[in-house]
Structure 1
Amino acid sequence: MAQTASPSGAHHTPSRGGHGSHTWATGGAMFAGVLLFVDGILAVLNGVVSIARDNVYTLNGSYTYQFTLTSWGWIHLVVGALLVLTGLGIMSGAPWARVIGVGMASVSIVANFMWLPYQPVWAVIAIAIGVFVIWSLLTDRSRTPAR
């Protein structure tokens, strides 16, 4: 692709899909890092509460994937810590973090699906966040070489 000079004299290569075609996805990737970080912090807090007090959450009916609240607390604590680290990696631009981010968002989706009977509204929100994170990390082409 041809390089063009901007009014400031700097050279840049225009994107293939028109001006700003990847801007939304690129901004979405940074936002995905922030979402993973915040989701991780909330999962850690959720885990600490579940470990400290077994009577904070109540199970709505019977469910196939029923664990004790202490078990759920440890699951949320570990997954949350990994989400925080991955979110920090994505925000810092670490190349490994994008791949790990997709994997951790997938783990978060599965864990929140299994957590549905305890906190249905939050679990659905967390699942939607995980889907957005996966989409934005897989569509971000800002760090891939042009062909």
Structure 2
Amino acid sequence: MAQTTPPSRAPNNRYADDGQNPWAASGAVFAGVLMLVEGVLGILKGIVGIANDDVYARLGEYTFKFDVTAWGWIHLVLGIVLAVVGAGILKGAPWARVTGVVIVALDIILNFLWLPYTPLWGLISIALGIFIIWALCTESSRSHTG
């Protein structure tokens, strides 16, 4: 009797065939959610800055001084754009990934400029922005799925 070898079992992973990192694909969904949340928080931060000019206290002197109302408008507009692009990423819109990288890079720069007003949250937002950019740049599962 001929000896048969059992068929090899491919891992139950949709990324096994294309070499896609599952952390990166999951990270893109997480990046979309984070962008949506960061956008909503930016909208709230902007509304607070516009409504009450003395709600944020600046720590020391800083080169990039803007009126808190101006910062409020910046955060409001950027928050709206972040939320829209985050929703686009979650829907799988083809324009959303590149737009997301550009908008989050801008958000990182603006959070750096905003550091004297909210240092801890600014640093957290910068770290989240770096993760979002990594996830959006490494995720490619939508182009490989059929």
Give me the TM-score of the superposition, normalised by structure 1: 0.86
Report how far residue 5 of structure 1 moved: 8.9
Change (3 A) 1:49 1:23: same
Report how far residue 144 of structure 1 moved: 2.9
Residue 35 of structure 2 corresponds to 36
The question of whether the paired residues in 2 share the 8 Å contact of 1:48 and 1:77 is answered with: yes
The alignment status of 1:51 with 2:50, answered yes or no, reads yes
Residue 9 of structure 1 corresponds to none
Show the 5 A alignment for 1:79-94: 79-94=78-93
In structure 2, what residue type is equivalent to 1:103?
V
Give me the TM-score of the superposition, normalised by structure 2: 0.87
Identity %: 50
Show the 5 A alignment for 1:1-147: 14-17=16-19, 21-145=20-144
Report how far residue 13 of structure 1 moved: 8.1
Report how far residue 99 of structure 1 moved: 0.5
Runs of 4+ deviating beyond 2 Å: 12-17, 143-146
Change (3 A) 1:145 1:56: same
Distance 2:144 2:46 in 1: 40
For the aligned residues, what is the CA RMSD?
A: 2.0
Larger C-alpha radius of gyration, 1 or 2?
2
Report how far residue 145 of structure 1 moved: 4.4
Distance 2:18 2:94 in 1: 23
The question of whether the paired residues in 2 share the 8 Å contact of 1:22 and 1:141 is answered with: no
Gap runs ≥5 in structure 1? 7-11
Aligned length: 135
Gap runs ≥5 in structure 2? 1-7
